[in-house]
A and B are shown apart, each in its own frame.
Chain A
Amino acid sequence: MFHLILFLFFGAICVAGAVNLLVQSHPINSALSLIAVMGSLAVEYLLLGAEFLTAVQVIVYAGAIMVLFVITIMLLNAGKEEGSGGSRVAILLGIPGVLIATLLVAWTVLFHSNTRAVPLGALKGDPRAIAQLLFHDFLLPFEITSVLILIAIMGAVVLTSRPEAVARGPRRDG
């Protein structure tokens, strides 16, 4: 009962946050609601016993990534998005399609995912066990992620630095 209540409570927050993200017209609000979602998601993880993930979720996601977002928003001081003409395809094709797909997936998940019910903290994901997997079984992916990070850094550097090649050479914009 306790489990269910917690799930429902934070689930509700998630839902609210997600919906709010959509309805808010100012990006900063959306960002904040997204943070709310992540926070409550962390709790959901906890309910399932994934302690380590909870921590990471809060630190990395809500902490680092979203901060990045907020900073960017501030940097570009993005205002309220103006209501420019939407795209017909997205509205007429995308949304209905998505909704139908949602119903189908939901139906599948509910009745055909033969999932069972689990108690509070079903699967203990304590750091040690995680580390066990991470550094042995998933050693390669783990190492490879370093390349990923490297690329990300390079990308950030390249894309954000002012193109000095242009500064030097005569400017020729097509």
Chain B
Amino acid sequence: MTPNFYLWLIPILPLAGAAINGFFGRRSSKLAITAVALVFSFAAFFMALLTAWGFSSAQAPYFCNLAHWVRSGTFQVDFSFYLDQLSLVMLLVVTGVGFLIHIYSVGYMWDDDGYYRFMAYLNLFMFFMLTLVLAKNYLVMFIGWEGVGLASYLLIGFWFTKDSAASAGKKAFIVNRIGDFGFLIALFLMIKHFGSLDFAKVFSQVTAWPTETAGVGTLTAIGLLLMVGAAGKSAQIPLYVWLPDAMEGPTPVSALIHAATMVTAGVYMVARSSAIFDRAPMAMTVVAIIGTLTALFAATIGIAQTDIKKVLAYSTVSQLGYMFMACGVGAFSAGIFHLMTHAFFKGLLFLAAGSVIHGVGGEQDMRKMGGLRQYMPVTFATMGIATLAIAGIPPLAGFWSKDEILWKAFNANWVYWLVGVLTALITSFYMFRLMYMTFGGEYRGRRAAQDLKHQPLDAHATHDSHGHDAHGHGEPHESPWVMLGPLVALAVLSLVGGLVGIGGRFEHFLAPVFEGTAGAELARQTAGEAASHTTEYLLMGVSVSVSFLGWLLAYVLYSRRPELPARIAHSLGGLYEAVVHKYYIDELYAALFVKPLIDGSTTILWHGVDQGVIDAAVNDSASAANHVSDAVRHMQSGNLRSYAGWVAAGGAAVIAYMVWMGVR
């Protein structure tokens, strides 16, 4: 049977799981919860595989129209799903990685009080994410779009008793909302100009439009606004600030949402809207520039971070930058390719980091780690693979995708390529730095037992999983297999995942989606002429060597001469400080937007306008009326003769008036 019939099932299944766990989880046993969560997420994964099996580019794209959702006048939006090569890729990634992380979470969260909540949230996230990727129109996509935001809000703030976690969740949601604002406006523009939000309808009309070479036309506006949305969701400049904080969430969440799937939604959306971007070169340029800058910017921050998850977070931001760079230069397929590989190795990295944290009893500061290689070999191995992959060491997954992007970028404009390469250098540097600091050298961490009490709940969660030694947490130790399994699986994927891209097979697979776009042209010409092959290999060599260079640097600084970094940092002084403090961007935003907003609203609007002006006006007019009344009533002096005076005067006035009337 073709996917048309059961397409809608794929998102619904996890929702069912979420519902069941959400409603009955509180009272049902952990095993039941686990069963429900895993079964439903696996079902989704299974359906996805089924779909992939039955998928034929000939019949693609598939539709599935569930029901009317909104209709007003001529404008109508349905619950309708859509499957083409692009969404298939996303589908597999989301369900696959998602399912693995579900398994991992079972081990990681087993002893948390909110286990059922966590599982329900995860399922809920799966539902929204799948809605997002399977949507047939922008509004349903927006459901997923906002929905994943909600899920991440809930999951980041999962340990809500921790203020930092709560505010991190809020921050994530609000920053995303700012992005969504742009997205919404884009949708309004589409409604205004195309009268529909359906991909097919919109794109078919767009292709009829001329390319907006000069100035900001409608399409450019739409593109830019979509990019705002994407920037919010995929943590690009200037809206990336929420992602690092999002690390407050449990590590599986960071892996699933803030590495593998949700944050890539922006990329997916831009790729999905390739038709529009294609007609708006200026928007494309903006996307490319933002992506490039973010890549470099985030990477530099990554250098100086000591929190293992923070490092990964910034590396995620930077990698996303790569993807946008790709989309910006029209290499959408390359972007998606990198998205996929990134999902593998970054997911892996996070899970491994989680396993490390779990192993050392909730410690996240790399300075307190080190020498874990002998304690947790599997974790080390898998994480190593992931590091090689992200660093772009051939033939691992990262290499292929990153190289593809750099090559496309070079064809577009060599500046992108240069920055990209630089970023690659930094990336491999801080990744290996992370490896050395974590696994190399001696174990620097104190025995976690005594400082458990002022460890965040993350520690509790993991600590409780070893209730047998109540006195605390002895040696660092390897994680249980329920957690290691997913690591291994992802490691394999990171190893071989890139091979699908060899010879542009992946690109050709996706080609129908980006048919007729500049990206396609680019693909053809770059694939076509043999002459440029030499340059291609040259560049490949450069990037690879750069990655090795980064590795070398890290090796020197953090394995051979561990005292050097401090000195370098000292010599750099202010710059280093700035980097450590993430260039004070958060502080800047606080000073620039948050504080003025709060203070302004309080003093000017509330106390000023509302109470000071409007209410005051009302009350004053009331008291004024009283004063007037008090004045007027003194007419009633109580003196008879003055009363008579009034009467007489009034009479006189009346007579005078009447006489005048008579004379006229």
Contact = CB atoms under 8 A, between A and B. Distances in A.
Q: Do chains A and B touch in the complex (CB under 8 A)?
A: yes
A89 B656 contact: no
A143 to B, nearest CB: 32
Contacts of B637: 87, 89
10 contacts: A89-B639, A90-B639, A91-B645, A93-B646, A93-B648, A101-B651, A101-B652, A104-B659, A105-B655, A105-B659
Q: Which of A86, A88, A97, A104 counts the most chain B CB atoms within 10 A?
A: A97
B299 to A, nearest CB: 90
A163 B646 CA distance: 34
Interface string B629-664: 000000001010110111011011101100100100
Interface residues of A, number: 19
A94 interface: yes
Given A88-B642, A89-B642, A89-B645, A108 B659 contact: yes
Interface residues of B, number: 16
Given A94-B644, A97-B652, A104-B659, 10 more contacts: A86-B641, A87-B642, A88-B642, A89-B637, A89-B646, A89-B649, A98-B648, A100-B652, A101-B655, A107-B659
Contacts of A105: 655, 659
A142 to B, nearest CB: 30
A87 B656 CA distance: 23
Interface string A75-96: 0000000000011111111101
Main secondary structure of the interface of B (DSSP, over half): helix
Main secondary structure of the interface of A (DSSP, over half): helix
A112 B655 contact: no
A108 B662 contact: yes
B653 A97 contact: yes
Interface string B575-594: 00000000000000000000
A86 B78 CA distance: 88
Contact of B645 (A93, A101, A112): A93
A2 B645 CA distance: 41
Contacts of A100: 652, 656
B642 A90 contact: yes
Interface of B: 637, 639, 641-642, 644-646, 648-649, 651-653, 655-656, 659, 662
Contact of A98 (B639, B652, B659): B652
B101 to A, nearest CB: 87
B656 A104 contact: yes
Contact of A93 (B649, B656, B662): B649
Contacts of B651: 97, 101
Interface of A: 86-94, 96-98, 100-101, 104-105, 107-108, 112
Contacts of A90: 639, 641-642, 644-645, 648
A95 to B, nearest CB: 8
A99 B305 CA distance: 99
A91 B637 CA distance: 14
Contact of A101 (B639, B641, B646, B656): B656
A174 B455 CA distance: 79
Contacts of A88: 642
A105 B662 CA distance: 12
Contacts of A108: 659, 662
Contacts of A98: 648, 652
Contacts of B648: 90, 93-94, 97-98
A105 B648 CA distance: 14
Contacts of B642: 87-90
A17 to B, nearest CB: 22
Q: Which of B639, B644, B651 counts the most chain A CB atoms within 10 A?
A: B639
Contacts of A101: 651-652, 655-656
A126 to B, nearest CB: 36
A93 B655 CA distance: 15
A88 B643 CA distance: 11
Given A90-B641, A90-B644, A93-B649, A112 B656 contact: no
A105 B654 CA distance: 12
Nearest to B659: A104
Nearest to A101: B652
A91 B652 CA distance: 14
Contacts of A87: 637, 639, 641-642, 645
A75 B652 CA distance: 37
| Shortest 8 CB-CB contacts between residues of A and residues of B | A97-B652, A94-B645, A90-B645, A87-B642, A89-B642, A89-B645, A101-B652, A93-B649
A89 B649 CA distance: 9
Contacts of B646: 89, 93-94
Nearest to A87: B642
Contacts of A93: 645-646, 648-649
A117 B342 CA distance: 124
A97 B641 contact: no
Contact of A112 (B649, B652, B662): B662
Contacts of A112: 662
A96 B653 CA distance: 11
B646 to A, nearest CB: 6
Nearest to B658: A104
A89 B638 CA distance: 12
Contacts of B662: 108, 112
A100 B652 CA distance: 7
Contacts of A94: 641, 644-646, 648-649
Contacts of B653: 97
A97 B646 CA distance: 10
A77 to B, nearest CB: 22
A88 B641 CA distance: 9
Contacts of A107: 659
A94 B637 CA distance: 15
Nearest to A107: B659
A104 B661 CA distance: 12
